[in-house]
Structure 1
Amino acid sequence: MVLQLSGLSLVAMGTWVTAGGGPFLHLLGPFSNQLLRFVNIGLLCIAMGTTLVLLGALGGCAAHWESKCLLLTLFSIVLIIFISETAAGVVALVYSSFAEGILKAWAVPALQNDYGSDPTVTGIWNATMAELKCCGFSNYTDFLGSELEERNGTGLPPSCCSTNIAPCSPAEAARSPV
């Protein structure tokens, strides 16, 4: 039952992203077009959700009818999914530095250009920096030369100053090692 509910949630999210996920794609910023060349996120979520619903139904039918054939089929499908996820994890581990470079290429320009002026980007970055107790993607220097610095002079958001992660005055910045 939980498997089917999570599958239906994925189908609903995939439908939302496909039909009207403008804010979601806006968040991806400059990589939204490149990302959509490789994977249509909405359709991927719909496919994964449908697979989960069907696997839940197959497992429920196999248990209800006590069918060895259906149970073996369910086991085989789950085994194939497990092996695929393990392989995907290994690939993700091997290419994590590549993924970090892509993420940094998106994150730093978003901080430079959109932080403070776009409420969606500002809200997400504020929540992320507060939760992770960090300042910027790499450090506080990600905000140097940004629109935020031009507007308020310090160039740092309040979340950086409140946690004493970064220097919040020009004098502190001059004394602080980068």
Structure 2
Amino acid sequence: MVEGGMKCIKILLFVFNLLFVIAGIGLIATGAYVNIKMDEYYDFFGKEYLGPGILVIIVGVLIFLIAFFGCCGAIRENYCLTMTFAVSLAIIFILEIAGGITGFVLRDKIEDDVKGVLTDAMRNYNESHHEGVTKSWNKLQEEFSCCGVNNYTDWNTTRGLSAPPVSCCAKIPCTPSFDDPSSIYTDPCAGQIEDWLKGKVAIIGGVGIGLAFVQVVGVMFACCLARAIRKEYEVV
């Protein structure tokens, strides 16, 4: 009866390890995607918004490696390996909760930061030694189909340009003009990138917290298997 129960726990632990491997790969891919996208706007936001993505990648790699201890412990019915797996999952659980909370904290902070960051960056547009800012602004307006921080006229009031940048053009060819905005994007970039950042940070936070609670079940199964193994050793 005890042997049958331990076999059942082993099978369940294997299933959870498979899920952890898949989840680890998914976390690595998600973190890498967000960091690659954020790196494109590094000249705007610097390192601050890279943190959650990097943490998710680290957690994904650790989960992938830790699943090895779970498999080895279950196959060998080794108490030490199984407990190592359980303790490691518990530590990762704490990291994921921290990453998820960080993500949601940043999500609330985004709205306050974005307008100020974009406005400061706009003042350096097309200035010497600020090629990265110019490139980032052009990419932002083309990718998000927007123009200016709050309005396309920001390019005149904040930057002092006589016409919006060509990257504001909604169609090619076009001659961007403040007097005739029919050929340019008119949506504000601040709102567009705020929504994008909130969405990506919410994904990181949600995935991290969701997976963390799944791991609690994995820790429970690992502890049950370790206890069964220990009892078997004591009987022997």
TM range (shorter): 0.5 to 0.7
**Secondary structure of the corresponding residue to residue 169 of structure 2:** helix
**Aligned residue for 1:132?**
144
Residue 79 (structure 1) shift? 2.3
RMSD: 4.2
Residue 143 (structure 1) shift? 0.9
Q: Deviations over 1:46-99 (max 9, x none)?
A: x87666555543332332343421231233123223322333344334x33xx3
Q: Higher relative CO (CA 8 A, sep ≥ 6), structure 1 or 2?
A: 2
Amino acid at match of 1:123: K
2: CA distance between counterparts of 1:162 and 1:115?
20
- Counterparts in 2 of 1:146 and 1:163: CA distance versus 1, 3 Å: farther
Is the Cα contact below 8 Å between 1:104 and 1:137 reproduced in 2? yes
Amino acid at match of 2:167: S
2: CA distance between counterparts of 1:69 and 1:124?
48
**Secondary structure of the corresponding residue to residue 105 of structure 2:** helix
2: CA distance between counterparts of 1:147 and 1:103?
17
- TM-score, structure 2 as length reference: 0.44
Q: Which residue, 116, 126, 134 being the options, matches 1:116?
A: 126
**Aligned residue for 1:60?**
68
- Counterparts in 2 of 1:71 and 1:48: CA distance versus 1, 3 Å: same
Task: Confirm whether residue 145 of structure 1 aligns to residue 140 of structure 2.
Answer: no
**Aligned residue for 1:100?**
111
- TM-score, structure 1 as length reference: 0.55
2: CA distance between counterparts of 1:100 and 1:136?
16
Residue 132 (structure 1) shift? 0.7
Is the Cα contact below 8 Å between 2:126 and 2:134 reproduced in 1? yes
Residue 161 (structure 1) shift? 2.9
Runs of 5+ consecutive residues of structure 2 not aligned to the other structure: 1-20, 36-40, 75-80, 187-236
- Counterparts in 2 of 1:140 and 1:163: CA distance versus 1, 3 Å: farther
Is the Cα contact below 8 Å between 1:134 and 1:160 reproduced in 2? yes
Is the Cα contact below 8 Å between 1:59 and 1:74 reproduced in 2? no
1:66-105 equivalent positions in 2, closer than 5 A: 66=74, 67-93=81-107, 95-96=108-109, 99-105=110-116
Count, aligned residues: 140
1: CA distance between counterparts of 2:133 and 2:169?
19
Is the Cα contact below 8 Å between 1:136 and 1:142 reproduced in 2? yes
**Secondary structure of the corresponding residue to residue 162 of structure 1:** coil
Percent of aligned pairs sharing the same letter: 21
Task: Confirm whether residue 168 of structure 1 aligns to residue 179 of structure 2.
Answer: no
**Aligned residue for 2:192?**
none
Runs of 5+ consecutive residues of structure 1 not aligned to the other structure: 14-23
- Which has the higher Rg, Structure 1 or Structure 2? 2
2: CA distance between counterparts of 1:140 and 1:108?
12
Residue 144 (structure 1) shift? 1.5
1: CA distance between counterparts of 2:168 and 2:99?
37
Amino acid at match of 2:141: M
Q: Deviations over 1:119-139 (max 9, x none)?
A: 211111111111111112222
Is the Cα contact below 8 Å between 1:114 and 1:122 reproduced in 2? yes
**Aligned residue for 1:16?**
none
